[in-house]
Amino acid sequence: MPVARLGLVVTKKGNRTAVRRNRIKRIIRARFRHRQAKLAGYDLVIQVFGELDDAKLNAGLDRLFGQLESTDR
C-alpha cells in the first residue's frame, strides 16, 4: 500500500513574512498528517497564492481532504 506524499508552495505574494509562510506550511503539514492514512496513494502538491488567514486555510483543507477521501479510486 503506497503512502500519501505532500508538496508545498507558499508564495511571498500576500504572505510577506517568513513567519506567516512557515505558519501556513505547519498548519497544512499537521492537517495532512492527521489524514495521511486515508489519503494513501495520493501525491498532493498544495499551492498557496495570495493572502490567506487561518480560518480560510483550515476550511479549504477540510474541503480538499474531504473530497479526496470520498472519491472512488
Reported as a single tens digit per residue, the pLDDT across 26-63 is 999 999 999 999 998 899 999 999 898 999 999 999 99
Q: Is the pLDDT of residue 73 over 70?
A: no
Q: Bridge partners of 43? A: 5
Q: What pLDDT, on a 0 to 100 scale, did the predictor assign at position 17?
A: 94
Here the CATH number for the domain that contains residue 24 is: 3.30.230.10
Residues 6+ apart with CB under 8 A from 57: 24, 27, 28, 48
Query: Taking the chain, what is the end-to-end CA distance rounded to the nearest angstrom?
Result: 13
Residue 48, helix vs strand vs coil: strand
**Domain tally for the chain?**
1
Give the structural domain span for 34: 5-70
